[in-house]
């Protein structure tokens, strides 16, 4: 998550979060406990109004640490395809790696959209349109179409000035990884691995030194 506040202090620009439960089925939730909350005395005097609060109980089939697919805009293309087609798919580590790449691309583009850049007004509008095309779509079909074209990482091609040279090279390498990992009717893609992506990240970080 990235803050929308301009001029954030270093280290407070955003944060990473993970959710224990990304998807819940209706039978997993039992909302059946209501608790009466009596009036309470306010610190400055007077009393609060009485109210009723509802306690949500999760069923036994909600498992902590279960595989998480996450937000559709960051899902791997194979998972989006399976959801769109109504088929099942095995969640694998390569899908999480692909999601990480999209989150990185989002972070770079988002920071450029809300922060100062050397782009003129027209270019800024084009950047906002590019960002919306990749991370603002509201249907699975539109999101999937963007992923199939590897558009989230193409910001480096259209707006190279918003990135440092090491980041431009990193995005190019990650885009190549995604292209090589895609399977087609005539070839099996090369799965994404933690080692290859971490190596690319290490190279980019060292380039800043």
Max mean pLDDT range (88-92, 109-113, 173-177, 182-186): 173-177
Report for 35-49, 130-144, 169-183: range of highest mean pLDDT: 169-183
Ordered by start, the domain boundaries in the chain are 26-58, 72-207
| Structure tokens given for 146 | 């963007």
The pLDDT of residue 27: 45
Using CA atoms in the order 98, 101, 102, 107, what is the torsion angle rounded to 10 degrees? 160
pLDDT of residue 195: 92
Against a cut of 0.85, is the pTM above it? no
If one compares 34 and 171, the residue with the highest pLDDT of the two is 171
What is the SS3 assignment for 95?
helix
User: What is the per-residue pLDDT for 87?
Assistant: 87
pLDDT average, residue stretch 131-138: 84
Q: What pLDDT does residue 203 have?
A: 93
Alpha helices, DSSP H only, in 31-120?
77-85, 93-114
Strand partners, 37: 51
């Amino acid at each position: 998550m990235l803050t929308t506040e301009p001029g954030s202090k270093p280290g407070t620009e955003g944060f990473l979060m993970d959710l224990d439960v990304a998807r819940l089925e209706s039978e997993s939730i039992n909302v059946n406990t209501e608790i009466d909350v009596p009036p309470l005395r306010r610190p400055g005097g007077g009393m609060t109004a009485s109210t009723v609060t509802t306690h949500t109980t999760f069923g036994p089939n909600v498992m902590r640490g279960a595989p998480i697919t996450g937000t559709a805009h960051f899902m791997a293309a194979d998972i989006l395809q399976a959801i769109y087609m109504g088929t099942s798919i095995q969640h694998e580590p390569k899908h999480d790696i692909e999601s990480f790449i999209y989150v990185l691309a989002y972070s770079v583009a988002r920071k450029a959209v809300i922060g100062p850049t050397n782009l003129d007004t027209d270019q800024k509008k084009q950047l906002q349109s590019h960002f919306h095309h990749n991370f603002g779509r509201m249907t699975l079909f539109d999101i999937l179409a963007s992923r199939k074209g590897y558009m989230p990482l193409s910001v480096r091609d259209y707006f190279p000035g918003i990135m440092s040279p090491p980041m431009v090279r990193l995005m190019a390498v990650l885009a190549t990884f995604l292209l090589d990992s895609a399977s087609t009717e005539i070839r099996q893609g090369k799965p994404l691995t933690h080692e290859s992506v971490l190596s690319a990240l290490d190279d980019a970080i060292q380039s800043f030194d």
